[in-house]
Amino acid sequence: MSNMIFNQEKINQVDFINGRTGQFRAVVKVKAGFMTVVDDLGIQSNWPSGARWKSALSVFKSFKRGALQTIEFKADGSESWLTVFARKGNKVMLMDTDMFLNMTVGDINQDWSTTNLYSQANYKLAGAKTWADKAFVSNEVSIKDLDPIIAGVDFSEALAALDSL
């Protein structure tokens, strides 16, 4: 599967997470109209399971429509919080590469369909047909990307024959 990102809406892309582990926090707008910072409850409460938010996308999915404004990330061993997602009104201004690579059509259609994340042009470029499909990267699977061993049976020769067609 290709990691080429389709970004027809020209959302600014950053690569701060870059596969690293760390902590996430969110800036949200509460019903009273003001902004507040929400830290990961798993870390703040010292839950045995640790952090509740394992990725920026899990933070993205955790809030009601219209509440989430910003997601920040602090890599393990760092003291700096970096913005990995930001929106202004109905326009997403900035998003990290990790979010582009993992976001599905369903993540967007559920609560973000009135923003510039919702893009039929992107969905078409990515070959997205269902809500489970990726929204910003290709959903086509190449034969070369398949694991030739399935349930202990080696299908290498069959896959090579298909690839040559």
User: What local confidence, expressed as pLDDT, does residue 154 receive?
Assistant: 76
Please report which residue ranges of the chain form alpha helices under DSSP H: 41-44, 56-60, 97-102, 105-111, 120-126, 156-164
In a domain? residue 157? yes
Give the model's pLDDT for residue 8: 78
In a domain, 93, yes or no: yes
Evaluate if residue 86 carries a pLDDT over 90: yes
Give me the phi and psi of 135, to 5 degrees please. -90, -25
Which DSSP letter does residue 53 get? -
Tell me if 4 is assigned to some domain.
no
Query: What angle (nearest 5°) sits at the alpha carbon of residue 99, between those of residues 95 and 105?
Result: 110
Could you read off the pLDDT of 140-161 as tens digits, one per residue?
Answer: 766 566 666 676 777 777 767 7
**Eight-state DSSP code of residue 144:** G
Mean confidence (pLDDT) of the chain: 83
Please check whether residue 126 is in contact with residue 133, taking contact to mean a CB–CB distance below 8 angstroms. Answer: yes
- The confidence band for 1, taking pLDDT boundaries of 50, 70 and 90, is very low
Q: 140: domain range?
A: 12-164
Model pTM score: 0.77
- Is the pLDDT at 94 greater than 70? The verdict is yes
Residue 2 within any structural domain of the chain: no
Number of domains in the chain: 1
